[in-house]
Amino acid sequence: MKHKTQKKIPLFMLLSLSVLVLVAIATTGLVIRANNQTVITYQFSGEEASVAGYAEGSLSLYAKDAGTYYLYWANDTEALDGYYAIGDIDDTVNNENSADIVKKQAYFHDMSAGESRTFYFGEHTAIPAGATKIIATTSKTNYNVSQATAVFDIPKEKQLQSGAGNLLYTFNSYSDVHIDTESYYQKSKSNWEKALKFAANKDTDFIVSAGDAVTNSHGASGSNGGFADEWDTYEKILASSDYCNPVYEADGNHDMRTESKGKLGSGDTYKGITAFVQASGTDSTVANIEDNKPYYYVIEKNSGDVFIFMALENGSDPGNYDNFSQEQINWLKDLLDTYYGTGVNVYIIEHSPFRGYGAGDAWMTPKSNGYIPSHYKSHMLVNGQIGKDDSNNYFTASGMDQNTEFRNLLEKYPDLIWMNGHTHQDFTVCVNYSNQNDTSCHMIHNPAVVGTTYFTDANSESQKYDSSSSSSDGLGRTSQGYYVETYENAVVYYGANLYDQKIYPAYCYIMEGSRNSASVAISETRKVRTPVYEHLVTDKEFITADTDLPSALTVAKNLLDKYYTLSSYNQYQALKKYYYAYKDNAVLADTSIAVANIKEATEQLYALVKRLGKTGNNDYPTLANCYLVYYVEDKHAWTDNDCKMTTDANGNLSYTYTATGSETASFKIYNKDTNKYCAVSESTKITYPFSSGTYSLSEYSSYSSSSGARSITITGMPRGLKVTFTYNATLNSVTISCAQ
């Protein structure tokens, strides 16, 4: 994408060329600049220049007056909500003085009077749903079409809705969440929360993730593969979010990382695979639970579309060892033979891209003037390809038969949609979409939820993460992923900044759906495989027919709190969805339907619990007897049961402490059922007056600081000050606020 400056065209030339221009208008959507006004022109190009929804082409702005202009996709009334300006990602700038090329995408800033600039939409970029116009404005607060500086009407035949057909379902495509308890990825937890918030706000039907849900920096040491704490945190955040639909994860190299490189099939590998299967929930069907395999597939219930989740189960080092077992490749071939060409879309979700091939590592990138950095040696390789080993020595790959077979399948089935991740490359690096010059399937690269990698110099391999302490302001503001709409005749990926919850117009991609092929017909009798739970029937009845709704909701909340580690499973999300649907609905015409729905969902979740052996000694502790305990010097000693916490409207535990005089007091939380204390690991002092703050807690066997349980101490509290402690047991955090 480049700037282009155009000279003014004299009036007599416009008159003499009027016929040619009218022809151009009819075929490309070009608009004449009249009366020396600010004007938007748009010339569509590429093989899909006449196809609805395809944005490829040149979008130009002629500025009558000097200034900064913002161009937006718009409907008939105003700019589309939740989008950045076209060609402008300044809203994500972390450092205004940075020379990073990723920060220099402001195409219509500081224009001179009479200047023209052109923004280029690349191959397979998309005109978003609902867009009927493009507007130009000099204001970042007024997005009304009627007050825009210039307006371009998108030809009706180019508008997405004119050719895409009905919207069938939506999903979010993510990768590389990288929950990290050691804080190499400092924003992994908050960015996962934001990714779930984005999905909840979009009300998407499900989430797919291309791997590396956790970081697992210690390999397979310890229990459950050495990353039980990271999966626990991942599930806590998912359980406590507003997102209430399924999550399906592919297995990444970090998810099943081993410490013994090359020992394929070793105990370490088995631990990693088992931990992934148990934590991710695969697709919650009995067969997959019992198979204990990290690869599986899901059939979308409304359309019959097939989502295939692959696993790097045959090695810890992608690029140095085969990523797939032959068994998995044979399984994939059978699925493709069964479903490809039957009138449905077939998706493959897999973690690592190939070295120098397709999306994710396109080898040459327009943003680097060279190769994707050589330190990315852990890509998949095919036989005969050049790779790098751990000592940065080049070698010629051999024995990569399974990888070679996988790439051959991508070329054999061109209508496949393959989603990968792994490299963390920012959208601006422009390795987002590829079909390998029409020789392979559609390939989409997911950047990273944890934070992206971008170039700092267009002429070198220097890159930087926007997620750790190296980030210029430490905020990690470029967490990225896709929101996806699947129509009858098209699939549209909307690239989004999850930190800002906004979509980048330049990084939205469209491809024809498989239903658009004349050679493919949808069978009315084709059997659709959906998750079926009848074999999970439980013998425990939680709710009876005469149970009232508040009691049913209490049962549901207790189960959701108790078994949050199952939050990736469909059964958990189904109960969670019912709980949130009914808990704040004060008026229901027929509460019996709500009770029946909750009853079925609670029984299915508990049946899953029994099947997975989570009952009995594996049960998680209840939160019925939690207390705020405190110490005031010379006034009040630590005691166990002074201040019992109660459940608030949001399902958190809370207690409001009232100061008895000008005092300094220290606080911790005590669970009487488990005889454990929840406290900070480093002493924290707060001085009144203070703003509301949230603090992470850990569990200790004693209130004593010698056990690690430090206090939160508040000084200078005046008499009558009310301090509220709100304990989120799922996230193990406490929020402290005060009111006089």
Compute φ and ψ for 605, nearest 5 degrees. -65, -45
With a pLDDT cut of 90, the percent of the chain lying above it is 39
CA distances from 345 to 302, 361, 414, 486, 569 (A): 12, 24, 11, 9, 24
Max Cα-Cα span within the chain: 96
Provide φ and ψ at 636, rounded to 5°: -150, 125
58-72, 85-99, 276-290: the lowest-pLDDT one = 85-99
pLDDT tens per residue across span 141-178 = 889 999 999 999 999 999 998 888 899 999 999 999 99
State the sign of the Cα–Cα–Cα–Cα dihedral 573, 578, 581, 585: negative
Residue 107 has pLDDT above 60, yes or no: yes
Neighbours of 430 (CB within 10 A): 17
| pLDDT confidence of residue 216 | 75
Lowest pLDDT segment from 32-41, 80-89, 193-202, 350-359: 32-41
SS3 387: strand
Specify the DSSP element, H or E, that contains 490.
strand 490-497
Distance CA 91, CA 138 (A): 16
What is the reported pLDDT for 35? 54
Residue 453 has pLDDT above 50, yes or no: yes
What secondary structure, in 3-state letters, does 170-231 show? EEEEECCCCECCCCCCCCHHHHHHHHHHHHHHHCCCEEEECCCCECCCCCCCCHHHHCHHHH
How much is the pLDDT for 731?
Answer: 63
| Backbone φ, ψ for residue 449 (5° rounding) | -70, -40
CATH number of 167-275+303-516: 3.60.21.10
Query: How far is the C-alpha of 573 from the C-alpha of 680, rounded, in Å?
Result: 31
pLDDT digits (tens, 9 = 90+) for 386-419: 776 666 677 787 888 899 999 999 999 999 999 9
pLDDT tier at 104, thresholds 50, 70, 90: low
pTM: 0.76
Do 164 and 484 contact (CB within 8 A), yes or no? Answer: no
| pLDDT, position 49 | 95
Fold held by 626-739: Immunoglobulin-like (2.60.40)
Please tell me the distance from the alpha carbon of residue 420 to that of residue 438, in angstroms, as a whole number.
Answer: 18
Give the residue extent of every domain in the chain: 11-162, 167-275+303-516, 535-618, 626-739
Q: Is 273 helix (H, G, I), strand (E, B) or coil?
A: helix
**What is the average per-residue pLDDT within 44-68?**
95
CB neighbourhood size of 725 (10 A): 23
What does the alpha-carbon distance between residue 125 and residue 127 come to, in Å, rounded to a whole number? 7
What pLDDT score was predicted for residue 90? 52
Q: So what's the pLDDT on residue 244? A: 94
- Residue 551: other Cβ atoms inside 10 A: 15
521 has a pLDDT exceeding 50: no
Query: What integer is the mean pLDDT of 455-467?
Result: 57
Cis ω before 689 (30° cut-off from 0) = yes
Query: Do 684 and 712 meet the contact criterion of CB atoms below 8 Å apart?
Result: yes
Average pLDDT estimate for 207-220: 80
Give the SS3 label for residue 165.
Answer: coil
pLDDT on residue 93: 40
The whole-number pLDDT of residue 603 equals 87
The confidence score (pLDDT) of residue 367 equals 47
> In which band, very low, low, confident or very high, does the pLDDT at 445 lie, cut at 50, 70 and 90?
very high
CB 418 within 8 A of CB 433: no
Query: How confident is the prediction for the chain on average, in pLDDT?
Result: 79
Let me know: does 174 contact 497? Beta carbons within 8 Å.
no
Determine the 3-state secondary structure of 671 from DSSP.
Answer: strand
- pLDDT for 27 equals 37
pLDDT band at 518 (very low <50, low <70, confident <90, very high): very low
Give Cα 144 to chain centroid, integer Å. 31
Decide: helix, strand or coil at residue 74.
strand
Residues 6+ apart with CB under 8 A from 297: 283, 306, 307, 308, 309, 335
Res 660 pLDDT > 80: yes
Rounded Cα distance between 361 and 432, Å, is 9
Give 640's pLDDT tier (boundaries 50, 70, 90): low
Assigned token pair, 547? 């149970």
Average pLDDT over residues 450-477: 57
Asked if residues 547 and 582 have their Cβ atoms less than 8 Å apart, the reply is: no
Consecutive H or E run containing 286: helix 286-291
CA distance 365 to 627: 57
- Residue pair 419/252 in contact by the 8 Å Cβ criterion: no
> Percent of the chain, pLDDT > 70?
74
pLDDT for residue 684 is more than 60 = yes
Average pLDDT over residues 464-480: 56
d(CA 505, CA 495): 8
Supply the pLDDT for residue 34: 47
Supply the pLDDT for residue 590. 81
Comparing CA positions, the residue from 61, 734, 172 lying closest to residue 486 is 172
- Taking only the tens place, the pLDDT of each residue in 542-556 is 788 788 898 889 889
- pLDDT over 90 at 530, yes or no: no
More confident residue, 587 or 604: 604
